[in-house]
A and B are shown apart, each in its own frame.
Chain A
Amino acid sequence: MTHDITGPASRRAFLGLLGGGAALAAVRPVAARAQVATRARIVILGAGAAGAAMANRLAGRLEGAAITVIDGRARHLYQPGFTLIGAGLKPASYSVSATTDWLPRGVTFIAEAAAGIDPVAQRVTTAGGQAVDYDFLILATGLSLDWGGIEGFSPDLIGRDGIGAHYAGPEEAAATWREMDRFTARGGRAVIFRPETEMKCAGAPLKYAFLTEDEAARKGTRKGVEIAYFAPQKALFGVPIVAEKVRMLFESRGIRATLERTAKAIDPGRKIVTFEDADGIAHEEPYDFVNVIPPQRAPEVVRQSGLSWETKWQDQGWAEVDQTTLRHLRFPNVFAVGDIAGVPKGKTAASVKWQVPVVEDHLVADLGGPKATQGYDGYTSCPLITRVGRAMLIEFDYRNNLVPSFPGMIAPLEELWISWLMKEVALKATYNAMLRGRA
């Protein structure tokens, strides 16, 4: 969730400016892209990072298109900020703006949730009963946090008795910080875990473990604090070379990791989280502070639409799209972008930044624009915070290759201040520019 959308361009921009404008020498003027005239009806489902960026870019490329954005959420949330809020570095308001702040003129916005998608009839029905027909559909719904996936948990427990859940939203991230702050002052045992499903920013639970350790060290209470990290997978991170680096850092920081453990239930009264191992055996883990990160799935409206993968992720329901073009494999007039896309990597804002131009390229080609040439290679990026003031700038692709923007300069597996600087200063600006279709 705290993944970075700063790509090479913005990083260079940022470094260039701070570094005395050296990068300005490399700046090229933007070639204005020709507009394509069309009367196509395009529906974008969702006005989050992917939906808003998509709407802005299409509004700039298409002339005469009827673009409709459907989203019932009045607030736009800058989710990469949740970790900073959860660490007490930013207020909850840091991540909050209005959905309508980011939508371009000339686009129809329906402030209702989608209730149904019929890809055969090419129609979306809203919660208010409005039917919207489309020629092209872009799924940008984001994902749903499945709180029911942790038995005994409900979001109203957040901020009480040592329970945090910084994925839940900005206010909940702030409440998580208050609990973490109390815990690190008093000492005890922290339990931090990630779910078995695909998830937003798989680095965020690791970051929170590091930040909790860092906070205790800063308060001088580290000796009285135990930090236990649990993951259902066989490794701490999906990219092997990063997993190994995190394992080493955990060891040096005294964070105990247990793999192949899936959180199943929480008992707030007894302060116990129950995990299941690979053999289905239950293990009870006591906590004084816990950060609940639940299973994550496609929203119900997508799962009911027949657009989900049938051969994989059956319990999660991500949209069945080609991993390079992001075009639906059975309904070619449907694309998916952002968290909802059923691709092996990339539930981050960085991925959105890379995916949106690809969908734009292919959609505009369908509408008579130039032949599509772009493809998504799985790029994603994560400023993996290891303490307040330092991060590792990790960028990788589908093949688990590291794809650093500054090879030989900013080492991806090194804890650096410059990587922290990007997270703190350049990231939100780049994200906002992306939403407006300008980066």
Chain B
Amino acid sequence: MKELTLSTLIAVFEEMFGPLLFWALVAAAVAVTAAFLWVLLRERGLAARRLVRAELFAPLGAVAAIAFVFWITNSGLGDIGGPVDLVMVIAIAVAGAGGLTLLAYVVQALLRRRPG
């Protein structure tokens, strides 16, 4: 119990979001990742112009992720108190940026038949 196990991790996250929403989020993340890999395989590589356009969404994803966490926790930038807080904010930003970039890339690929 005092050690990290996969079941502990899943149990905590199921409680946090509710089992339905948690598994829906996991399924969504897996689906987007799978779609990205499928697009890569189909096109045998990254489409550079599409990637650049997708990356335009990265700052939006970063800011949205940070704003969301501040919102659900009744806190704000002024509460950042130490280096580990900054690391946490950066990690949240990277997750948000990466996630939205990936999503934007996949959406463009699925909307256009040919890489553009």
A residues adjacent to B (C-beta < 8 A): 7-10, 12-20, 23-24, 26-30, 89, 353-354, 357, 387-390, 409-411, 414-418, 420-421, 424-426, 428-430, 432-433, 436, 438-439
| Chain A hits for B3, CB < 8 A | 8-9, 28
B residues adjacent to A (C-beta < 8 A): 1-9, 11-16, 69, 72-76, 78-82, 84-85, 87-88, 91-92, 94-95
A410 touches B84 (CB 8 A): yes
| Chain B hits for A9, CB < 8 A | 1-5, 8
B75 touches A388 (CB 8 A): yes
With A416-B82, A417-B75 as contacts: A7 and B7 at CB distance below 8 Å: no
Min CB–CB distance B62 → chain A (angstroms): 13
With A416-B81, A426-B12 as contacts: A29 and B74 at CB distance below 8 Å: no
Distance, CA A417 to CA B15, complexed state (A): 22
**What are 15 residue pairs bridging A and B, where the CB atoms are less than 8 Å apart in the complex?**
A9-B3, A10-B12, A20-B94, A24-B9, A30-B5, A389-B73, A389-B79, A417-B85, A424-B75, A425-B72, A429-B12, A430-B12, A433-B11, A436-B11, A439-B1
With A29-B6, A421-B73 as contacts: A18 and B88 at CB distance below 8 Å: yes
Distance, CA A250 to CA B94, complexed state (A): 37
Besides A30-B5, A417-B75, A433-B14, 12 other CB < 8 A contacts?
A7-B2, A9-B1, A15-B88, A26-B4, A27-B5, A28-B6, A389-B78, A416-B84, A424-B72, A424-B73, A430-B15, A433-B12
B5 touches A390 (CB 8 A): no
Which of A14, A354, A357, A409 touches B12 (beta carbons < 8 Å)?
A14
Distance, CA A19 to CA B7, complexed state (A): 19
B2 touches A433 (CB 8 A): no
B88 touches A19 (CB 8 A): yes
| Chain B hits for A29, CB < 8 A | 5-6
Distance, CA A433 to CA B75, complexed state (A): 25
Nearest-CB residue, chain A, relative to B89: A417
Min CB–CB distance B10 → chain A (angstroms): 8
Which of B5, B9, B72, B91 touches A19 (beta carbons < 8 Å)?
B91
B16 touches A418 (CB 8 A): no
Min CB–CB distance A206 → chain B (angstroms): 18
A30 touches B7 (CB 8 A): yes
| Chain B hits for A418, CB < 8 A | 84-85, 88
| Chain A hits for B81, CB < 8 A | 390, 414-417
Min CB–CB distance B14 → chain A (angstroms): 8
Nearest-CB residue, chain B, relative to A8: B2
A13 touches B8 (CB 8 A): yes
| Chain B hits for A20, CB < 8 A | 91, 94-95
Nearest-CB residue, chain A, relative to B7: A30
Which of B14, B74, B94, B95 touches A389 (beta carbons < 8 Å)?
B74
Min CB–CB distance A345 → chain B (angstroms): 17
A429 touches B95 (CB 8 A): no
Distance, CA A15 to CA B92, complexed state (A): 10
With A9-B4, A27-B4, A29-B6 as contacts: A439 and B85 at CB distance below 8 Å: no
Min CB–CB distance B24 → chain A (angstroms): 16
Min CB–CB distance A94 → chain B (angstroms): 13
B82 touches A414 (CB 8 A): yes
Min CB–CB distance A87 → chain B (angstroms): 9
Which of B4, B11, B74, B88 touches A438 (beta carbons < 8 Å)?
B11
Min CB–CB distance B76 → chain A (angstroms): 7
Which of B8, B73, B87 touches A10 (beta carbons < 8 Å)?
B8
A17 touches B74 (CB 8 A): no
With A19-B88, A20-B91 as contacts: A389 and B75 at CB distance below 8 Å: yes
With A26-B4, A417-B88 as contacts: A13 and B75 at CB distance below 8 Å: no
B73 touches A420 (CB 8 A): yes
With A18-B92, A19-B91, A424-B74 as contacts: A13 and B82 at CB distance below 8 Å: no
Distance, CA A387 to CA B76, complexed state (A): 12
Distance, CA A354 to CA B79, complexed state (A): 30
| Chain A hits for B75, CB < 8 A | 388-390, 417, 420-421, 424
Min CB–CB distance B38 → chain A (angstroms): 21
Min CB–CB distance A268 → chain B (angstroms): 32
B2 touches A429 (CB 8 A): no
Query: Which of B3, B78, B92 has the most A CB atoms < 10 Å from its CB?
Result: B3
Distance, CA A20 to CA B78, complexed state (A): 23
